[in-house]
Structure 1
Amino acid sequence: MNRSTTTLAQASPAPKKSSYFKSRWNAPLAGYLFISPWLIGFLVLTAYPLFLSLYYSFTDYTLMQPMKWIGSRNYERIFTADPKFIQSAKVTVMYVLASVPLKLIAALLVAMVLSRAVRGISVYRTAIYFPSLIGGSIGVSLLWRNIFGVDGIFNKLIAVFGIEGKSWITNPDTALSTLILLTVWQFGSTMVIFLAGLKQIPNDLYEASSVDGANRFIQFFRITLPMLSPILYFNLIMAVINAFQMFTSAFVITNGGPMNATYVYAMYLYERAFSRYELGYASALAWIMLVAIVAATLLISYTSKYWVFYETDTGGKKRK
């Protein structure tokens, strides 16, 4: 190093440590400002109530009496001395196991039909997607209750074939089935996601398999399902989460009856919180539901390595 370089190095002072950290903070400051509305909303409206309910679950908290810490007594009471918890959990599991597969199957089959290039197909897609726009609203639930009542449209329809109808929503053997059918009918959102996935499958795969002698049945199980497995994985998780939280339909159509045949878990939680005002006990029920949903999601995620395939540079490859 020559003398001029040494003099220049001595003349240029090293950056101060405080200015370094200041520059590191100022760089992402704009990003923090932009996400601050969402961040504040998440902390105030989601995170704070979530952890507050966890604290309430360990207390004897009602609106009529002061809060009292009781430890894990709420959870012990739920699992050992609460028959309604067992009943509601059983109904909910039956609802999830029946509604989720049927909804996915219906959505996939309709998506495959609507993926074809047919004249006026956009009108059909809109008409089929429309029930999902109104969702599980009170109006739809009231309409469904009238359809499957004694004098409903469904009984009038089957009467044409000489079948005597009944009140499907007041029969313990068929009440839950009507709620499952309502959920399956609202498959529009799931169908749209499947339809987008079907559009991404190259036609060359079907053409090449046809040359090799594969029929539509083989193409479905060897091409369509593997290529759609990531989409199926996403729809399955979302459907399970929504099914566990089903409330409006059961509350409006059957009010949990008859004979608790449609008394789902969310209804029992609602009754404890807003009818009996046992907020501590209801918080414990809510956290049990959260743990059940997380457990179901983790189970699906664990098994996904056996049936979900992702596209790589070398083609479809099983995830490890």
Structure 2
Amino acid sequence: MSKIAKVNLRNGLLFVLPWLAGFAAFSLLPFLLSLYYSFTTYDVVSSPVWVGLDNFVQLFKDPLFWKSITNTMYYTLFSVPLGIVFGVALALLLNMKVKGMALYRTIFYLPSIVPVVASSVLWLWLFDPQFGLINGLLDAIGIAGPGWLVDPAWSKPALIVMGLWGVGGAMIIYLAGLQDIPQEMYESAQIDGAVWWQKIVYITLPMLSPVIFFNLIMGLIGSFQYFTQAYIITSGGPNDSTLFYSLYLYKNAFSYFHMGYASAMAWILFLLIMAVTLLVFKSSARWVFYGGER
């Protein structure tokens, strides 16, 4: 290695050193410590005590652990597909050549940048069964509104509806993907006599599939870690109907100070997300189309 190359390597390492130090201190070290704590009993104020696999054994005997998984799976199975459908449909509408479209795009995107705490408080008022706007509108047309967030049967659907309000972030990505589709393909389909739905099925969706794949992965990861809205609005109630996995993990760690138990939960969540992500990646070869492929 020449002297100039050595100097460049040294300077490069010096520039990247602050990031490496931050990564080691705030990401890598907590990652490794959580693995160690998952095999211990640790309450923060006392020294951790090695218990082996006891935390994992207790988890599988914990009814709230299974309840939190069930709630999270319910939310994932409905919120992720609905988010994709609504995001793509909204992007298709906002991709039309209509006067003032820039304003419409801005309006639909704004909810995704509203702080989560503020939007949660807003929806808490909207979902109020007695004085909320939603039930007020339903009453005006003669429909008795449900209890929403105070009813175990409606609490998760209410949070799913709330999540659809912020679909604008994904919509922007879909919109960018739509504008990248060559117009010649639509023109050729038009000449061949294709109608609008055939263009969507045979051109738009295949060409948009990489973007759908990306949002599917991000949506799955986000739904498995769903926490903030449930913590602010319901704190897991009523009757543990919104006790999502991440919320139960948080309670074990910072309410009950069962850090070892919470670390074991974190590693199970990590393995679950990895398994689902790998499964989706494996299936992508069947339905994701890349324009450069032959």
TM-score by length of 1: 0.88
**3-state SS of the aligned residue for 1:235?**
helix
- Describe the superposition over 1:84-111 as per-residue Cα deviations: whole angstroms up to 9, x where unpaired: 1000001001101100010111111111
- The size of the alignment, in residue pairs, is 293
Structure with higher RCO (Cα < 8 A, 6+ apart): 2
Tell me the distance in 2 between the aligned counterparts of 1:59 and 1:25.
45
Q: Identity, % of aligned pairs? A: 42
Tell me the distance in 2 between the aligned counterparts of 1:188 and 1:28.
43
Among 41, 47, 59, the alignment partner of 2:40 is 59
> Does structure 2 retain, via aligned residues, the 8 Å contact 1:149–1:166?
no
The offset of 1:115, in angstroms, is 1.0
The offset of 1:64, in angstroms, is 4.0
Tell me the distance in 2 between the aligned counterparts of 1:24 and 1:67.
47
The offset of 1:35, in angstroms, is 2.8
**3-state SS of the aligned residue for 2:290?**
strand
The offset of 1:23, in angstroms, is 4.7
The offset of 1:31, in angstroms, is 3.0
- Describe the superposition over 1:40-79 as per-residue Cα deviations: whole angstroms up to 9, x where unpaired: 2222111111111111111111124321111111111112
Q: State the one-letter code of the partner of 1:220.
A: I
Q: Is the counterpart of residue 148 in structure 1 residue 127 in structure 2? A: yes
> Does structure 1 retain, via aligned residues, the 8 Å contact 2:71–2:241?
yes
- The aligned residue for residue 168 of structure 1 is 148
- Describe the superposition over 1:222-247 as per-residue Cα deviations: whole angstroms up to 9, x where unpaired: 10111111111111101111111111
> Does structure 1 retain, via aligned residues, the 8 Å contact 2:42–2:259?
yes
Q: State the one-letter code of the partner of 2:44.
A: L
- Describe the superposition over 1:7-44 as per-residue Cα deviations: whole angstroms up to 9, x where unpaired: xxxxxxxxxxxxx3655432333333333332222221
User: Any stretches of 5+ residues in structure 1 without a counterpart?
Assistant: 1-19
The offset of 1:134, in angstroms, is 1.6
User: Any stretches of 5+ residues in structure 2 without a counterpart?
Assistant: none
- The aligned residue for residue 260 of structure 1 is 240
Q: Is the counterpart of residue 183 in structure 1 residue 170 in structure 2? A: no
Among 100, 117, 120, the alignment partner of 1:120 is 100
Kindly name which structure, 1 or 2, has the bigger radius of gyration based on alpha carbons: 1
> Does structure 1 retain, via aligned residues, the 8 Å contact 2:146–2:154?
no
Tell me the distance in 1 between the aligned counterparts of 2:29 and 2:2.
31
- The aligned residue for residue 202 of structure 2 is 222
Q: Is the counterpart of residue 36 in structure 1 residue 43 in structure 2? A: no
TM-score by length of 2: 0.96
- The aligned residue for residue 48 of structure 1 is 29
